Amino acid sequence: MSDPEDFQDESRSTSLGEEVNRLLQRLGSPNIDTVSGVFGLWKELVGEQVAQHVSPIKLDRGRLLIEVDDPAWSTHMKFLERDICTTLSHHTGTTISGIDIRVKSGRANN
């Protein structure tokens, strides 16, 4: 079993955040601050009404994949794309160049 002292020696260890950022970088993803800003603050940044119908799925090379619960929201998001990209870029410090949209599958037929 490991000695607890091993985990407290900062000269031999790095923070979890640094390790996560290294992993994200190797995967070609933005850093943890960007990811947590986009996904963690989504509702605050886009507003309650949008967040009820639209979810961020993936951020890859400056493009954000979102999923909408209804095709009408796809059209609405195209109109909001520039504003959302600007807001997300400002709050994350990373350029979000565009949004890709997919409609959620498996909607119940009423």
Q: Where are the domains of the chain?
A: 30-103
Q: Is the pLDDT of residue 24 over 60?
A: no
Among 60, 53, 107, 106, smallest CA distance to 80 is for 53
9 CB contacts (<8 Å, ≥6 apart)?
none
So what's the pLDDT on residue 109?
46
Q: Which of 1-10, 40-49, 59-68 has the lowest mean pLDDT?
A: 1-10
Q: Please, what sign has the CA dihedral across residues 30, 44, 40, 58?
A: negative
Q: Region 10-37: what's the mean pLDDT? A: 59
Whole-number mean pLDDT of the chain? 78
Q: Which CATH number fits domain 30-103: 3.90.1300.10, 3.30.300.180, 3.40.50.1000, 1.10.260.40?
A: 3.30.300.180
Q: Is the pLDDT of residue 102 over 50?
A: yes
Q: Is the pLDDT of residue 58 over 90?
A: no
So what's the pLDDT on residue 41?
83
Q: Region 88-94: what's the mean pLDDT? A: 83
Confidence band, pLDDT 50/70/90 cuts, at residue 16:
low
Asked if 68 contacts 101 with a C-beta cutoff of 8 angstroms, the reply is yes
